[in-house]
């Protein structure tokens, strides 16, 4: 195959054309999933994201509200004691 590639490159060079870029063919096999088997990966556990200030590129600062991540609605907000 390498010899064939060199022949093609030489033939193209004689005609004033640039050489072709090399490439690799990859065959991807389908994966069979059996009943009860998982493909892995999990979703994030439900949690609270704290509010914060976002600094935008043009100098403006905007507040970002706290929110629940992960779809759970029954999470209670933690209390923080300052000072």
Work out the number of other CB atoms within 10 angstroms of the CB of residue 9.
15
- Over residues 34-83, the pLDDT tens digits come to 777 766 666 677 888 889 999 999 999 999 998 888 776 666 666 777 76
- Over residues 15-35, the pLDDT tens digits come to 988 877 777 888 888 877 777
Residue ranges of domains in the chain: 45-70
Contact 72, 78 (CB under 8 A): no
Which residue, chain included where needed, has tokens 């590129």?
57
């Amino acid at each position: 195959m390498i010899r064939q590639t060199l022949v093609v490159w030489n033939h193209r060079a004689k005609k004033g054309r640039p050489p072709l870029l090399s490439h690799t063919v990859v065959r991807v096999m389908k994966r069979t999933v059996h009943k009860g088997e998982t493909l892995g990966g999990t979703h994030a556990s439900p949690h609270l994201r704290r509010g914060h200030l976002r600094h935008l590129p043009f100098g403006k600062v905007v507040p970002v509200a706290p929110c629940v991540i992960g779809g759970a609605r029954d999470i209670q907000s933690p209390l923080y004691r300052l000072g």
